[in-house]
Homo-oligomer: A and B are copies of this chain.
Amino acid sequence: MKRNNKKAIILLSGGLDSATTLAIALKMGFHCYAMTFRYGQRHNIEIDSSRRIAQKMGVIEHRIIDIDLAQFGGSALTDNSINVPMDRAVSGKFNDIPVTYVPARNTIFLSYALAWAEVMGLFDIFIGVNSTDYSGYPDCRSEFVAAFENMANLATAATVEGKGKYTIHTPIINMTKAQIILKGIEIGVDYSLTHSCYCPAENNRPCGHCDSCQLRLKGFAEAGLPDPVKYAD
């Protein structure tokens, strides 16, 4: 790939998908700025992972933004009274949108990325959404991302003044989890640094049973590789 020397913002959760997305952006030659949200998620241990990933992969600046989505609730990830589903079959798509969906989360994350992008004068934003192997999350679909991109290009002074045009990059949106892992390994992602579990055990080890763990384990199995992360007993 041709190096482009442009700057980009990467939404970095600390999980497998966003770490791979960061690696792809770096491989494309972008100078990368990472943005992570402490939003009230029960698995806020992922923020530590995001720090390690950002440091190891050489992002230029890593912003950790505090926003309180738990005040709205409505998700198993932000409301402890809603249980995270365990040991579900994760082959193919779910029929229903899982209770781990967080209302308007990616819309809010991308809006903050847009604010930072405009102030920095950059026009490339990467988000590691993935619609193939999982999730049924409405804000992980390409039609949502395209609509956000269209809105972003009408929202800001930078675009109205003709300084550029925003692109929301979704390099892994159509990959299976196994394909993502194989791509990441190829370009040097250290998956031992990543955290995927929605419901970590007391020692912060992944549970191995929530949807996110199950999809990750299935992905490594299909890729024919061991998951370097140590799971709870």
Contacts and interface: CB of A to CB of B under 8 A. Distances in A.
A189 to B, nearest CB: 28
Interface string A140-168: 01011001101110111111110000000
A111 B104 CA distance: 7
A22 to B, nearest CB: 21
B139 A147 contact: no
Interface string A119-141: 10000000000000000001101
Interface of A: 63, 65-69, 71-74, 97, 101, 103-108, 111-112, 114-116, 118-119, 138-139, 141, 143-144, 147-148, 150-152, 154-161
A68 B118 CA distance: 16
A219 B52 CA distance: 54
21 contacts: A63-B71, A66-B68, A69-B115, A73-B119, A74-B118, A74-B119, A97-B157, A101-B157, A103-B118, A103-B119, A103-B157, A104-B112, A104-B114, A104-B115, A104-B118, A138-B154, A138-B157, A139-B155, A144-B151, A144-B154, A147-B154
